[in-house]
Amino acid sequence: MAEGMTSLRAPAPAPLRGLSRAEPMVRRLLLVPEGRPAGCPVPAATEAATHRLFNVSIALSGLRCLLGYVILPIVTPAIGAAASVGPVVGVPVAVVALFFDVMALRRFWAADHRWRWGISLVYVAVMGMVLALLVGDLVHLA
């Protein structure tokens, strides 16, 4: 480059400050150790396992919501089943779904996945719905 000329390259974007400050908090909350060293790629098997666990956990949460919002309120009365069947089925499914949701979320953070923040928002919404159903079932059983 000639003397006195400046580079026309744009400066590198600064990391999102809010997210970079929140990341250690989220890692502590999920009991996930700090991220891998910079430049350390995620092994393909780990990424594949992360996506597989995501699919299983979302499917379980979806099943719980389907049971809670469609099948149990509509189908059980239609076939003459007792209203108490819903909570008896719903509580164990909700507990398993929440367990898998937390495990999958932890896996995304442990793998330092590039979508960990977006996936975290999805999981918070899904877990909120499943938790609402679980609380409703527990109140109904009490």
- Greater confidence (24 vs 74) lies with 24
pLDDT in tens, 47-66: 788 888 888 888 988 888 88
Helix (H) or strand (E) holding 80: none
d(C-alpha 108, C-alpha 49), whole Å: 10
Query: Counting Cβ atoms within 10 Å, is residue 3 exposed (0-12), middle (13-18) or buried (19+)?
Result: exposed
Mean pLDDT of the region 4-18: 48
Mean pLDDT of the region 12-17: 45
d(C-alpha 112, C-alpha 50), whole Å: 11
Mean pLDDT of the region 81-92: 76
Write phi, then psi, for 85 (nearest 5 degrees): -65, -35
d(C-alpha 24, C-alpha 46), whole Å: 21
Q: Is the pLDDT of residue 93 over 90?
A: no
- Whole-prediction pTM value? 0.70
Chain Cα centroid distance, residue 20: 19
H runs (alpha helix) in the chain: 17-29, 44-66, 76-78, 85-110, 116-141
SS3 1: coil
Residue matched to tokens 């949701």: 101
DSSP output for 17-45: HHHHHHHHHHHHHTT-PPPPPTT-PPPHH
Q: Is the pLDDT of residue 125 over 90?
A: yes
pLDDT in tens, 21-33: 888 898 899 888 8
